[in-house]
Amino acid sequence: MSNRHVSELRKVYKHIFQDAMYAFPTMRMELERDLTHLQSVVDSRGVSVYMETLPKIGKHLDRCLAGGQYLQSGLPLTKRVSGRVLIPAFMRGLYLLVFDDTGRLKDDANLEAITFLRQIVFAAKKASFPCTAEKAATEVEEFYAVDQTLPEPDRFWECETEALASIKETFHGFEKSALYRARADALFPHTRKDLTIVLGILDRVSGILTSSLGSYDPSDWRFKHGPGAIAEHSGISNKYCWGNWSDALETEFPYADYAFHSYSAWATRCNDHPSVGSRNQHSRMVAVPKSYSKPRLIAAEPSENQWCQQNLWHYFSDRSTACWVGEFVRFRDQSLNQQLAKIGSGNGSLATVDLSAASDRVSCHAVGQAFRGNLRLLSALRASRTQSVGQTLSARAPEVIRLRKFSTMGSACTFPVESLIFLCVAVSCALVKRGLNATLQNIMLLKGSIAVFGDDIVVPSDCRELLVSTLELLQFKVNDAKTFWEGNFRESCGVEAFRGVDVTPAYWHCWYDGKPASLASVVATSNNFYQKFMMSTSNYLASTLPGIIPHVAQRSGAFGLHSRTEPDNRFLRRRWNWELQREEIYARTLIGSSSRSPTNDDTAFLQLFTERPGPGIAWRHGITQRPRIQVKPRWVSHDDLISQ
């Protein structure tokens, strides 16, 4: 597998350097030497040069761009030119267009040179590479170690039938929390007073947020299943057939009311299966590819918990859009963070903050303090929470990990809950820095300077230090390598900007191996390079694909290779369709299909009412099989390919 990666990436890098030579023709010979040197290093050290070493060089470059000074890193391929010239000998020509001999960032730094430097070092950062069992085990051990740093959950989270009244007895707010007071005394003795003020404001801001979201009643929101795997089965199964509706779920999501299409179906089920189970089942840990260095851990939730978590997700998504929260957090749209990152890189007024393993550090204690103003919501979060996760990936970690964190990646509640907590913290820090009281009117004054999407946070630069201290007080860890507040480089939600210009590279993911998924990936990658005017790389990737892939207008939305001018598909067969009265082209297209295996019980009714198919859809009930993507040549409308 590594040899194939090396072979394909060698070709891709050859064309990336060719694009750099087109952009900087006077540096052709120097860039050719750089490419030869890079390939010789890869020959001796392997694929990790592309996937690990170069991205590390890129992270260091970003930090130097933000700091305005190139500093020695000691990384491979960064040996300085000479004792007098500080910048690296590898890609010296491009570096000298950005930094002077002493490493100082030039006032007129060449933006195109920065773009190509970052393109070269980051091109393989997201390459698809299967994770080894050893790396998966290491990641599980880190997951467990992080979880052990969090406080034990309060009794409210552990008792499955705890009454709503106990919330007020358990959670008294951030400011009065004995845990946070003790941490402030121990970790921040010199700034304890400021942090105490922030915690007081945080209580009021979280109260405004929870009251703005409004009351929560499961009957008002949609139940459904998520697209991911479930804990009970690793293969295909009927998610609408319940096997373990826990006592915790029963307290807020009664089995009879929310698990069946009618009470008669519930009665029949109880008669046939008197005991459905009452224990709180644990989730199942799965490792999926993320990067060359480590996998991503996802917890497959029990189907019953997943069903109720999606109801909460619907509540968070809908209510945040309907109130002021939507001006700062957009759960389905990253563009606000991206736009503010560009603005911050241009004038330095905004900082971008990234957290390390943020979802693994959201403690139950913090969630309780943040949402204590909405008793029914907090109780529902408790009821749908999975308290433990089972894992078989590492022998050095417990087989069943009793979770201290609120939830794992895989829970539908993780993303909205952490986003809203980070929003409250960011707003509170900004209000304190500006000497403003926690009122809705003052919060709205911060519009356009704060944005949150998961663990990506944008705040005014003067609030960054207070924000970091507050987050650490709440037991989060800021990722310093991806947090920028000085200079003119910013990064948030996939956009990397320098002095107001997007310098985000295109990423190579995989080669075309004859399978539909790889075809879609290579076409998308080719289009990304095309969009950045890197024509040599784009054309090379397109040349690895089979014939009759159509050319399409960039904004058409149709599958194909992008074109800025009217797509030229003269090499493809054409016809006039008399029945539809349109010109058509015979081209390869991606077709997604998924079959269903019928069930022999009445869960089909619940599935029908959940999926709500339109009157014109030929809907079928049953267990959905794994989706299949097929590549098929067929006649497509010429107008669909060229429309903008």
- DSSP output for 25-87: GGGHHHHHHHHHHHHHHHHHH-THIIIIIHHHHHHHHHHHHHHTB------TT--BS-SS--S
What is the total residue count of the chain? 644
Average pLDDT over residues 71-85: 90
pLDDT value of residue 149 = 94
Determine the Cα–Cα distance for residues 451 and 457; give it in Å rounded to an integer: 6
Is 235 a residue whose pLDDT tops 80? no
Tell me whether residue 524 is exposed, middle or buried, using C-beta atoms within 10 angstroms of its C-beta: 0 to 12, 13 to 18, 19 or more.
middle
Q: Strand ranges (DSSP E) for 408-476?
A: 451-453, 456-460
Of 111, 113, 115, 2, the C-alpha closest to 52 is 2
Q: How confident is the model at residue 160 (pLDDT cuts 50, 70, 90)?
A: low
Assess whether 609 and 567 both reside in one domain. Answer: yes
Assess whether 110 and 149 both reside in one domain. Answer: no
Is 563 a residue whose pLDDT tops 60? yes
Report if residue 525 sits inside a domain. Answer: no
pLDDT value of residue 244 = 85
Tokens coding 549: 């892939």
Assess whether 431 and 479 both reside in one domain. Answer: yes
Is 610 a residue whose pLDDT tops 80? yes
Assess whether 394 and 329 both reside in one domain. Answer: yes
Per residue in 304-355, pLDDT (tens digit) is 999 999 999 999 999 999 999 999 999 999 999 999 999 999 999 999 999 9
Report if residue 608 sits inside a domain. Answer: yes
pLDDT value of residue 274 = 60
More confident residue, 609 or 441: 441
Total domains, the chain? 3
Report if residue 137 sits inside a domain. Answer: yes
Domain closes at, from 125, 151, 183: 125
- The C-alpha angle with vertex 453 and arms to 450 and 457, in degrees rounded to 5, equals 45
Is 275 a residue whose pLDDT tops 60? no
Report if residue 210 sits inside a domain. Answer: yes
Determine the Cα–Cα distance for residues 346 and 497; give it in Å rounded to an integer: 8
Is 635 a residue whose pLDDT tops 80? yes
Report if residue 556 sits inside a domain. Answer: yes
pLDDT value of residue 521 = 93
Assess whether 357 and 332 both reside in one domain. Answer: yes
Q: How confident is the model at residue 592 (pLDDT cuts 50, 70, 90)?
A: confident
Average pLDDT over residues 101-121: 96
Which segment of 66-75, 263-272, 510-519 scores lowest on mean pLDDT?
263-272
Report if residue 511 sits inside a domain. Answer: no
Strand 495-498 with 623-624, pairing? unpaired
Determine the Cα–Cα distance for residues 486 and 488; give it in Å rounded to an integer: 7
Average pLDDT over residues 381-386: 93
pLDDT value of residue 433 = 95
pLDDT value of residue 282 = 87
| Highest averaged pLDDT of the listed ranges 148-157, 204-213, 263-272, 513-522 | 204-213
Per residue in 23-57, pLDDT (tens digit) is 999 999 999 999 999 999 999 998 899 999 999 99
Assess whether 364 and 255 both reside in one domain. Answer: yes
Tokens coding 446: 């911060």
Neighbours of 590 (CB within 10 A): 15
Average pLDDT over residues 248-269: 90
Is 240 a residue whose pLDDT tops 90? no
Neighbours of 279 (CB within 10 A): 10
Determine the Cα–Cα distance for residues 248 and 244; give it in Å rounded to an integer: 11
Is 455 a residue whose pLDDT tops 80? yes
Is 164 a residue whose pLDDT tops 60? no
Torsion of CA 113, 118, 354, 144, to 10 degrees: -160
pLDDT value of residue 605 = 85
Is 272 a residue whose pLDDT tops 80? no
Which segment of 118-127, 228-237, 379-388, 598-607 scores lowest on mean pLDDT?
228-237
Report if residue 531 sits inside a domain. Answer: no
Q: How confident is the model at residue 644 (pLDDT cuts 50, 70, 90)?
A: low
Average pLDDT over residues 232-257: 84
Strand 561-563 with 551-553, pairing? parallel
Domain closes at, from 460, 481, 498: 498
Is 546 a residue whose pLDDT tops 70? yes
Tell me whether residue 471 is exposed, middle or buried, using C-beta atoms within 10 angstroms of its C-beta: 0 to 12, 13 to 18, 19 or more.
buried
Assess whether 108 and 137 both reside in one domain. Answer: no
Which residue segment(s) compose the domain that 566 sits in? 546-642
Is 14 a residue whose pLDDT tops 90? yes
Assess whether 62 and 179 both reside in one domain. Answer: no
Determine the Cα–Cα distance for residues 14 and 539; give it in Å rounded to an integer: 12
Helix (H, G, I), strand (E, B) or coil at 402: strand
Give the chain's mean pLDDT.
90
Report if residue 518 sits inside a domain. Answer: no
Assess whether 86 and 218 both reside in one domain. Answer: no
Assess whether 142 and 222 both reside in one domain. Answer: yes
Average pLDDT over residues 229-254: 82
pLDDT value of residue 227 = 76
Assess whether 107 and 236 both reside in one domain. Answer: no
Q: How confident is the model at residue 233 (pLDDT cuts 50, 70, 90)?
A: low
Q: How far is CA 308 from CA 23, 95, 222, 606, 623, in A?
A: 54, 53, 9, 14, 20
Average pLDDT over residues 71-76: 91
Q: How confident is the model at residue 168 (pLDDT cuts 50, 70, 90)?
A: confident
Average pLDDT over residues 135-140: 91
Q: Strand ranges (DSSP E) for 549-607?
A: 551-553, 561-563, 574-577, 582-593, 596-597
Assess whether 357 and 441 both reside in one domain. Answer: yes
pLDDT value of residue 611 = 84
